[in-house]
Amino acid sequence: MKNAMIDIQLSHRTIREFEPEQIHEETITTLMEVARRTATSNGMQSTSIIRITDPIVKRQIADICKQEYVFRAPVLFVFVADCYRNMRIARDKGCLEESAGDMDRFFQAVTDTCLAAQNVVNAAESLGLGALYLGSILNDAQNLIKVLKLPELTFPIVGLGLGTPNQNPALKPRLGNKFKVFENSYYCFDNYLESIKDYDEEMQTYYDLRNVNQRVDSFSNQIIAKLTTASPVRQDILNVIRSQGFILKLKEMQDIIG
């Protein structure tokens, strides 16, 4: 069972370079309507989208992302988990509920936000546009919050660049579903390194357009490289979430303080 949409989904690749042409405003409006109609936890609609049109702001975001091509994306959005709006509605009704910013609401908002982002990506790709997800906006969440003037009880989750692709990257090899899809309970393999051997080899046949002269490393080597270069600022994300007013109730604090 396949169709045109699924063909597009199965050939998803990150597009990092776009034609300079702008996207029609009508298209942007449609994409934002798709975001608006996305499924939402508990009907709370806890997501907002900031569209970046100001080149100064775009530059600041590209700097945070440390990716020059972010500045060149014709359309740039930041998807924001938003518990602020509902808190304000409650407050305006004379109700001051601190649960507006509890971790349950926060995670509902994160989920809402990611679902909206992917819905927009699917709509954009169905129109022939290319998409660039930017997890790298969280390289410095605190700074981004300042740049976008995000109020309390909001938090940036993911950036999204869109445009007409001017590159055609190869499909990146992905780990097989025997490692990812299980029936009724999680299945742990005895030896992962041995089990993913074929995938490790397959990955080395792939060339990343960011560095066309060099094959990429095996998946397991990529994992090691990434896990040994963790960013202390990014690891600090929970403190930034807390500084946005979300309530982190934690038991056994002394254990954590250590």
Residues 25-44 that bind its own copies (CB under 8 A): 26-27, 30, 32-39, 41-44
- Binding to its own copies by CB under 8 A, coded x per residue (else -) over 92-131, reads xx-x-x-xx-xxx--xx-xx--xx-xxx-xxx--xx---x
Select from 218, 217, 216, 181 the least CA-distant residue to 196: 218
Which region among 62-70, 76-84, 162-170 touches its own copies (by CB under 8 A)? Answer: 76-84
C-beta closer to its own copies: residue 72 or 111: 111
Q: What residues from 191 to 210 belong to the interface with its own copies (CB under 8 A)?
A: 191-194, 196
221 Cβ partners below 8 Å, 6+ apart?
Answer: 200
CA distance 135 to 128: 23
Q: What would you report as the CA-atom Rg of the chain, rounded to the nearest whole angstrom?
A: 20
- Work out whether 172 is an interface residue with its own copies (CB under 8 A): yes
C-beta closer to its own copies: residue 185 or 211: 185
- Work out whether 242 is an interface residue with its own copies (CB under 8 A): yes
For residues 101, 103, 108 and 113, what is the CA-based torsion angle, rounded to 10 degrees? 80
CA distance 101 to 242: 10
CA distance 15 to 2: 23
For residues 102 and 127, the answer to whether their CB atoms sit within 8 Å is no
Which region among 62-70, 77-85, 162-170 touches its own copies (by CB under 8 A)? Answer: 77-85
Among 168, 213, 214, 253, binds its own copies (CB under 8 A): 253
Select from 177, 137, 176 the least CA-distant residue to 155: 137
Which region among 66-74, 161-169, 226-234 touches its own copies (by CB under 8 A)? Answer: 226-234
55 Cβ partners below 8 Å, 6+ apart?
Answer: 71
- Work out whether 168 is an interface residue with its own copies (CB under 8 A): no
CB of residue 213 vs its own copies: minimum separation in angstroms?
19
CB of residue 74 vs its own copies: minimum separation in angstroms?
15
